[in-house]
Structure 1
Amino acid sequence: MTPMIVKNLNWPDESATREFASRLADYWQQHPDSANLLVLLHGDLGAGKTTLVRHLLRGLGVQGRIKSPTYALVEPYVTPCVQVWHFDFYRFADPQEWEDAGLRDIFATPGLKLVEWPDKAGDLLPQPDWIIRLSSDVDEVRHITLEALTPRGVTLMQEAT
């Protein structure tokens, strides 16, 4: 998967993460058809993957508790503009578990799919539109690499980031 476009960002604190998530959420609220995406989130434990997803879901209007899907594998959310599925494959010991869990049907439906630890599903996931790579340094600054791999992903990167 060769990215069509790459963008590097630095988030000095959590408010920068929230601002980025808010921009995406605002864009998707104005252009709901553009929210039909698969976004893979890569990063070590504590890199900020779940924090980014929580801010994004809040920006999309999700109220109440937003749980990490570490044990449930997936948490679905209905927002005013798009159906969202938040996946976490951290506990997978083998990529076949993705297939055994029956997740292929969800990935075939419209909506926004946000996947933490996608490498645990091997090459079974469909082609992503975006890959977000998060890391942090000793000063807690988050370093973000956004990779757009589809025309939809490129449009989103050009118009919403």
Structure 2
Amino acid sequence: MKPIILANEQETILFGKQLAAQCLNYLSNHNSAIVIYLIGDLGAGKTTFSRGFLQQLGHVGNVKSPTYTLVEPYQFDTFCVYHFDLYRLGDPEELEFMGIREYFSSKAICLIEWPMQVKGILPAADIEIHLAYFMLERTVCLQANSDKGQAIINQLL
């Protein structure tokens, strides 16, 4: 897929809102979790994207990266969003102790920053979002890894 150019923070937030709207649309007709990997260097816009995503779903308030808590839950009327940041994860076994598999239940969206820290433990991503710097802008590449992910991305484009 051709990279999408995001000129500034507001465009990154808007992109998050657009994808959230499509995920919400998908969840309204399906009863399964959506797993989204957020991949990129420090400062690439993963948390900024997540802020826009959560705002679109109705969250009011701060959205911070759960670097030290590993996961921040956001409860909505009919589903949950779990925002993971695995950057500082010391041992992948920590995820097993916190009951990681329960987060991927039905009617949930899991936004996972730094998924490569725990290869083999997490469920496969439905959508991978690769964020990177390009000059003074950010680039985003979307990759669908499942039929579910493809269905969501098709509605976005």
Matched, 1:142 2:138: yes
Matched, 1:18 2:13: yes
Of 108, 111, 116, 2:113 maps to: 116
Of 8, 11, 23, 2:3 maps to: 8
- State the match for 2:150 in structure 1: 154
Residue 103 of structure 1: how far off its partner (Å):
1.2
Determine if contact 2:44/2:132 at 8 Å carries over to the other structure: yes
Q: 1:63 to 1:98 in 2, by over 3 A?
A: same
Matched, 1:129 2:88: no
Secondary structure of 1:105's counterpart equals: helix
Residue 31 of structure 1: how far off its partner (Å):
4.1
Q: Which moved more, 1:30-39 or 1:125-134?
A: 30-39
Aligned equivalents of 2:26, 2:126: Cα separation in 1: 16
Query: Which ranges of structure 1 fall in alignment gaps of 5 or more residues?
Result: 1-5
Residue 29 of structure 1: how far off its partner (Å):
4.1
Q: TM-score, normalised by structure 1?
A: 0.86
Number of aligned positions between the proteins? 155
1:37-116 aligned at under 5 Å gives the runs 37-80=34-77, 82-116=79-113
Residue 68 of structure 1: how far off its partner (Å):
1.8
Q: Which moved more, 1:123-132 or 1:15-24?
A: 15-24
Q: Kindly provide the CA deviation profile for residues 29-67 of structure 1, in whole angstroms up to 9, marking residues without a partner as x.
A: 444336830000111100000000011101110012223
Q: 1:143 to 1:96 in 2, by over 3 A?
A: same
Q: 1:154 to 1:30 in 2, by over 3 A?
A: closer
Query: Which ranges of structure 2 fall in alignment gaps of 5 or more residues?
Result: none
Residue 160 of structure 1: how far off its partner (Å):
2.0
Residue 18 of structure 1: how far off its partner (Å):
2.1
- State the match for 1:3 in structure 2: none
Aligned equivalents of 1:111, 1:7: Cα separation in 2: 28
Residue 7 of structure 1: how far off its partner (Å):
4.8
Determine if contact 2:35/2:126 at 8 Å carries over to the other structure: yes
Q: Which moved more, 1:24-33 or 1:14-23?
A: 24-33
Determine if contact 1:129/1:150 at 8 Å carries over to the other structure: yes
Residue 17 of structure 1: how far off its partner (Å):
1.2
Q: TM-score, normalised by structure 2?
A: 0.88
Determine if contact 1:61/1:80 at 8 Å carries over to the other structure: no
Matched AA of 2:6: W
